[in-house]
Structure 1
Amino acid sequence: MMKSLLTCFLLLSIYLLNAQESNKNDLFLQVGSLLHNNYNSDQPGVAVSIIKNGNVVYKNQKGTANLEYNIPISDSTAFNIASVSKQFTAFLAVLLEKENKLSMSDDIRNHLPELKHLPYKITLRHLASHTHGLPNSNELANLAGKGLDYNITHQEIAQMLLNIKQVNFKPGAKYEYNNTGFILLAEIIERVTGKPFQEVLQDRIFKPLQMDHSMAVSSSSIIVKNKAYSYKKENDMYKNYVLNMKANGSSGISTTIDDLSKWAIEFQNPNKINNVVFDEMTQTTTLNSGKTIDYGLGLEFKNYRGVDVVFHGGGTAGFRSYLLHIPEYMFSVVILGNNNDFTPLNIVYNIVDLFLEEHLEEPSAPKKVRYSNKELKAFEGTYEMFPGTYYNILAENDTLYFQSFGRKGKAPLPVIGDGEFLFPYVPTTKFSFYENGFIFNIADFKYDCKKVELKPKDIPSKSDLLKFEGAYKNEEFNINYELVMKNNQLVASHSINGDFELFPLAQDSFYTNQSVFSKVDFIKNDQGDIIEFQLSGRNIKNLKFRKIN
């Protein structure tokens, strides 16, 4: 009898093991189908890795790393991981804090005396949590005509930021995602250690974890072995999307799917010291008001279908990266890509749905999915996303429409439900309305758009506009713009960026519908003469341009 029971138990164990293995293989086949359905072998693609309980349980690649030479993506292909780099910078800073070499509460002016003129104390914690209030490096570089396709090194960007003289808002007052904080944090790490940032990364992270194919790339002249090239699709054709802007700290790390998986494994099973560091990085940030935000130090948090997620995404030029952890289930997903689309984001969460299905909550159905035109009228109005960037929301024939301010065309917004409307023209984008505002959701980014009252003036006469003409200079960053009349239209002209038309917004105030050069407010002296204009926009507020003639 005992022998029969043992035999039955053994057979049952074998059956269960085979069932588990079969289920696992079925999941892997479904992930493979995801990649197959979204990417072709002869087009830019992705590398994917799934980590469970400290082990890589699945790894795959699909697509081409270099279209010119038809080189396929492999597990040794190196990708620029863009903003996923931020967590490495934050890790180094916190690690140095544990060694008493700095404090996250330090005033950055003590480490960077070039910024001694800043009006407020900004801490290293402010830098690593996007609450510092400094203007963003990307917007400043773009304003000077040095965008993604301009060859600019990390050192040049850092030097530009060390000229900052004013802030957008008081540190700790709000969260505003940008790259400046992490670039300056990398500069502080270099000064504290007395070593180049790349060397500190190698010594403290890459070598200990045997991430032998990872490096910080601070210049276009640096050779990256087996690198993926960056692409974008235009008119059904792929084109090179060259990334020449190199910034360490906020971006710039080049790594492979194997190496980044080792970093994910360390997050799941950290040593004693690293565990303390990760614990500090994954604490939410508290603003001056007492409000907490879902960002720690180089890492973000959210709840997805009932499970808590720690993550960060990255995107620059055609490179895409995403690193997601679900600590409760020791589960991580890593994805790297070289095409400028949003597909990697969808793949990551499809993988989460597949592997953790039994632990996830079913999305709740919206209570209200139909709106009358009268109800939609409550959403109507003009909304400000950034200074100088405005949108109109219109209700017509039981349909909500989106319109760029000052433009005639409009686009319908399909209803999702409960005050949410799809923006189908950009993937993973929707509007979530609340009283007198909406959240513009783009992937993981959330932009708060408040309803505003704008009453643009009639077109000023040519004589009225002539008083604004002249050459203007920003002393901080040595940026020059000339305001001139062209075809009876006031235009801001730059030697590289070209011309931006200025449209009247209020007395002595104009907007441009451009992200680089957005809202312009002219300042007069006591005699009524124009002496400067102040430029505001995304991550820039009241940047002063003095009239020089």
Structure 2
Amino acid sequence: MKKLFWVFILLMHALLSSAQTPKVNSFIESFVSKNNFNGIVLVKQNGKTTYYQSFGFANLSFKIPNTIDTKFRVASITKAFTAVLVLQLSEEGSIDLNKTISAYLPDYKGAGKNKVTIKQLLNMTSGMRNMDAGVSLESALKNGIPQYQRPFTSDELLAKFCSDTLVTTPGKEFDYNNADFIILGKIIERVTGKGYEQYLKEKLLDPLQMLNTGMLSQEKIISKLADSYFYRDDLKSLSNDLPVYWENWYAAGSMYSTAGDILNFSDALFEGSLLKPETMKEMFCSGLGEYGYGVWVYKDYEIGQKKYTIIKRPGSIMGAQAMLFQILEANSTIIILTNTGNVSLDDFAADIAKQIIN
């Protein structure tokens, strides 16, 4: 009887949540149908999950459905985790954000060794030549993507792709560069004496009960991990993702997770469980390129007739796309994970935000 009682309570909660958001439900289901969306959509408002549904297939060849337990490659959402780890180390006094790379990686050979600060790595103003400069679909199909299609250790990534020349003065221009966060990953390792994956697990994944989250690598077989497919403009259709070593994105983009686990991280971050208030204020300060530390920060973002602060952390690597979209003043979270690159998650999340803000 006790078990039946709790089943009844959970069922009623689900029905009430659904009944509270008919506008949101209708919009999402219409969008999914029109755009052939594959993935997960989760919406949380004022402490309650009001929408949580899976759509489409985790594997298109075998028509294996996505479920709420499906794991997705979350790409650059990884950067938010890396930023939090660095800021926690800063709070402990182990990292000074105003010191340069050389303070923590004395053997670093890059031109920015004594010029680029940890803060400039966090806010993507290092001025370093972009490690992905010149990469396009055409070049990838013709020549491959050397930095991701050959196996490299994180030390090799640092030396080969993250120690380049400076093309602008550090701190003066925003340039979204994966190299900045690969360097931060190596700094975390050097300061803590632990591998990035181990430290991530100890400091964030285990404490937050993120049991379905980890780092991708070629040798791992990860249960319930969705295959991903990117959209080929030249073919006007989805295609299998190009073969890559996902671990080469390292602290900049190698994580996998579920929507539920990303929500655990989001709740802890925005409720102040991970960082001190003054540190959060610094992380969420909108700087050059409207970028904070590892996240985009949009002040005075207009929804309806009101203005809000939006904290956004998208991720996109070929067909693997992810979105963490937080509306601060409305205490609302939108999480979207997909394994097909045929939908703009920026647009999808923004449109959902319009539906949930009355």
TM normalised by structure 2 equals 0.83
User: How far did residue 101 of structure 1 move?
Assistant: 0.9
Alpha-carbon distance in 2 for matches of 1:158, 1:197:
14
Partner of 1:324: 325
Matches within 5 A, 1:68-217: 68-115=61-108, 118=111, 120-139=114-133, 146-147=145-146, 150-155=149-154, 156-161=156-161, 163-164=163-164, 166-217=165-216
The residue identity in structure 1 corresponding to 2:195 is P
CA distance in 2, matches of 1:204, 1:198: 10
Provide the rounded CA distance (Å) in 1 between the counterparts of 2:16 and 2:122. Answer: 46
**1:34 aligned residue:** 31
Which structure has more RCO (C-alpha within 8 Å, separation ≥ 6)? 2
Which residue, out of 51, 57, 60, partners 1:67? 60
Counterpart position of 1:47: 40
User: Secondary structure of 2:244's match?
Assistant: coil
Structure 2 Cα separation of the partners of residues 162 and 19 of structure 1: 51
* Structure 1: gaps of 5 or more residues: 1-17, 286-291, 359-549
Between the aligned partners of 2:241 and 2:144, the Cα distance in structure 1 is: 17
1:343 & 1:162 partners in 2: Cα distance? 29
Q: 2:281 aligns with which of 279, 285, 294?
A: 279
Write the mapping of 1:429-448 to structure 2, written as runs, cut at 5 A: none
Q: Hey, what does 1:407 align to over in structure 2?
A: none
Partner residue of 2:225?
Answer: 227
Q: Amino acid of the residue matched to residue 296 of structure 1? A: G
Amino-acid identity (%): 24
Q: Secondary structure at the match of 2:129?
A: coil
- Higher helix proportion (structure 1 or 2): 2
1:299 aligned to which of 295, 299, 307 = 295
- TM-score, scaled to structure 1: 0.56
Q: In structure 2, how many angstroms separate the alpha carbons of the residues matched to 1:225 and 1:349? A: 31
Q: CA 1:87/1:100 → structure 2, altered by over 3 Å: closer, same or farther? A: same
Q: What are the within-5 Å matches in structure 2 for residues 274-423 of structure 1?
A: 275-285=277-287, 293-302=289-298, 303-305=300-302, 306-356=307-357, 358=358
Q: Which residue of 2 aligns with 1:400?
A: none
Answer with 272-281 or 69-78: which moved more: 272-281
1: distance between equivalents of 2:341 and 2:328? 29
The structural deviation recorded for 1:115 is: 2.8
> Would the alpha carbon gap of residues 32 and 300 (structure 1) be closer, same or farther in structure 2, given more than 3 Å must change?
same
- Distance change >3 Å, CA 190–CA 272, structure 1 → 2: closer
In 2, distance between residues paired with 1:350 and 1:293? 22
Contact between 1:54 and 1:268, CA under 8 Å: does it hold in 2?
A: no
Q: Distance in 1 between matches of 2:145 and 2:90?
A: 34
Q: Is the 8 A contact 2:17 2:51 kept in 1?
A: no
Q: Deviations over 1:26-75 (max 9, x none)?
A: 432332332233226xxxx1211111123322101111111232211111
Distance in 1 separating the partners of 2:309 and 2:204:
26
Match of 2:286, as an amino acid?
A: T
* Alpha-carbon distance change, 339 to 282 in structure 1, aligned in 2, over 3 angstroms: same
Equivalent position to 1:262, from 258, 261, 264: 264
Structure 1 counterpart of 2:241: 241
Q: Secondary structure at the match of 2:95?
A: coil
Q: Is the 8 A contact 2:308 2:328 kept in 1?
A: no
Unaligned stretches of 5+ residues in structure 2: 1-14
Q: Is the partner of 1:184 in helix, strand or coil?
A: helix
Q: Deviations over 1:323-347 (max 9, x none)?
A: 1111101011000111123332222
Residue aligned with 1:248, SS: helix
Change (3 A) 1:151 1:230: farther
SS at match of 1:114: coil
Cα distance in 2 for partners of 1:19, 1:79 equals 28
Higher-strand-fraction structure: 1
For residue 179 of structure 1, report the CA deviation from its aligned partner. Answer: 0.7
Give the paired residue count: 328
| Cα separation, 1, equivalents of 2:109 and 2:18 | 62
Deviation, structure 1 residue 173? 1.6
The separation in 2 between residues aligned to 1:301 and 1:323, in whole angstroms, is: 12
